[in-house]
Structure 1
Amino acid sequence: MKYTFPAIIVHGGAGRVAHHQVEASQVGCQEAALAGWRLLLEGGSALDAVQMAVESLENNPLYNAGTGATLNAAGEIQMDASIMEGSTLAAGAVAAIHGIRNPVRLARKVLDRSQEVLLVGEGALSFARKAGIELCANAELTVEHQRQRWEKMHGTVGCAAVDQAGRSAAATSTGGLFDALPGRVGDSALIGCGTYANYFGAVSCTGIGEAIIRTALARTAMGDLQAGYHPMVAVQRTLAVLVRGTQSEAGLIVIDRKGRVGYAHNTLHMPVCWLSNDGQLGLDI
């Protein structure tokens, strides 16, 4: 079945956005969504579109992913990312990595290899070298405001999309939780927690990773999509599960195979941008 319009939705992380950065955070999400949208209109795959959108967010120092990643308790960068294609259930993820400008690109290389799903630490970096992904110094990824702002951040970026063939995909990338223990891995690298996609749609989550892991939030949202709930209802039901079970904070974006989108969060902010199946652009924070 071919859809007249593909659809895409991106998020820039659940948490608090400084007042003077609200507009810029929305603009960054819009730029990422439009980059993926244009590819979808040209007949590109949902998988390529979510990768392109998340790379755009990783390249923006405003977000806690790629350039702009936060620092752990040792004052070091440690990043996670994952990507999943819904029609084949192909997935790739990396965790506890550094020195990579676009962690989602490395996650895509893992997916394309198809033998493994998750690579971590030095093993992931060794694979990056063999896959031809350029490594960089951590200093190139640490922007000044991250050095100066020693406050907790829950930022993660993500995207979900459906293409003209009805195939769905999702991708999620994070610079981690501020001041976390070295070696800590959150939900963004874990399929079914921070990222999930199948025949029915795609999900990307953001927030307190440990709570998202405990509730398998992305897969929980997918269960509601499979049960026939509209994405906007599914996200509210899913967020309620997290709050009841963990009394924690999170946000998520969802897209179904019809190109309908949904998003919800219980944090102060979560910048989002979407182009749904009617071709209309939406923004929220």
Structure 2
Amino acid sequence: MVTEATPIHTQGAAGGRYCVLVHGGAGNVPLERRALHVEGCLRAARVAAELLGAGGSALDAVERAVRALEDDPLFNAGTGASLNEEGRVEHDASIMEGRTLRAGGVCALSGFRNPVAIARAVLEDGRHVLYAAGGAARFALARGFTSVDEASLVTEAARAALHVAQSGQGPTGWAGGTVGAVAFDATGLRAAATSTGGTLNKRVGRVGDSPLIGAGTYADDEAGAVSTTGHGEAMIRLGVARAVAEHMRAGASPEEAARVEIARTRDRLQATGGVIALDATGRWGLARSTDTMSWAVAGERGELSGY
């Protein structure tokens, strides 16, 4: 059931010379586990902020933050990601930087631990923006990434969630969800990255919004950086990430831009989700229409977190 309440939102002022904001997915994390998800987001934000403080780029920062979340089995990305209808992991991820609008993504990718790193390699290679399934795996191997036993990416929690979904004993959603990060650095570069295992019990080959530039991820130094989470099909149909960026380009605060698009997603398509965003001036904001969306922000002026 989609709530009729106004989406919950949070905002902050400009974050000094650098700032990173991460999310751990829109959903309904049980009360007793919410602090764990917030702590996971805070760890990811801290390692990214440390990189930024040492002079690293926003692009490096969002990749590092998302990799940390992919390696944390609490979240629906990387290790511990949700399983498709055949009990397999199929990862989606993308990354974008706002100065030259370079972007890279992979989708329906199996057998690799950190899909966001492969998406970064796609961005750096520059020939194409998005690789799928076997083509994505071939690209990864050609660029020196090592495949892993798929079983090493599957957790007991993911197996249990799939069993519940397929047996009709409970909800088919994922408590946490997609992970993402947005950042800016001392040079003014904006970047965004998003990674997911996708919808629990999804059909083989299904691709959501996370690897799609303009739907799940968007960055433009003139507007801001955005990562989305939630009902992927709705985010694709409404092009939510790009829409949030365009609101910011027109002068809306990140919180206002996120809130407007999450409300539109709810009102037009009766779908839930969340958005994190940074604008061209360094302000940050987020909105969600789900019970929870764990998040953390870290930068030169300190850190905050919540759900």
What is the Cα deviation at residue 272 of structure 1? 0.5
- Match in the other structure for 1:275: 298
Equivalent residues in 2 for 1:91-102, closer than 5 Å? 91-102=103-114
Task: Name segments (4+ residues, structure 1) moved above 4 Å.
Answer: none
Kindly indicate whether residue 267 of structure 2 is the aligned counterpart of residue 239 of structure 1: no
- Match in the other structure for 2:139: 127
CA distance in 2, matches of 1:267, 1:82: 23
Equivalent residues in 2 for 1:74-93, closer than 5 Å? 74-93=86-105
* Matched length: 282
Unaligned runs of 5+ in 2: 1-14, 166-171
Unaligned runs of 5+ in 1: none
Which residue type is aligned with residue 263 of structure 1? L
Q: SS state of the match for residue 192, structure 1?
A: coil
Over the aligned positions, Cα root-mean-square deviation in angstroms equals 1.2
Deviations 1:169-194 (A, max 9, x none): 00000011001110100000100000
CA distance in 1, matches of 2:76, 2:16: 34
**TM-score (structure 2 length as normaliser):** 0.90
What is the Cα deviation at residue 16 of structure 1? 1.2
Does structure 1 retain, via aligned residues, the 8 Å contact 2:16–2:301?
no
Equivalent residues in 2 for 1:46-57, closer than 5 Å? 46-57=58-69
CA distance in 1, matches of 2:32, 2:187: 40
Deviations 1:69-117 (A, max 9, x none): 1111111111100000001100000000011100000000000000100
Identity fraction in percent: 44
CA distance in 2, matches of 1:167, 1:198: 9
Please point out which of 197, 200, 206 is paired with 2:229. Answer: 206
Please point out which of 173, 188, 200 is paired with 1:178. Answer: 200
Q: SS state of the match for residue 189, structure 1?
A: coil
- Match in the other structure for 2:125: 113
Please point out which of 160, 173, 176 is paired with 1:153. Answer: 173
- Match in the other structure for 2:8: none
Which residue type is aligned with residue 153 of structure 1? G
**TM-score (structure 1 length as normaliser):** 0.96
Q: SS state of the match for residue 267, structure 2?
A: helix
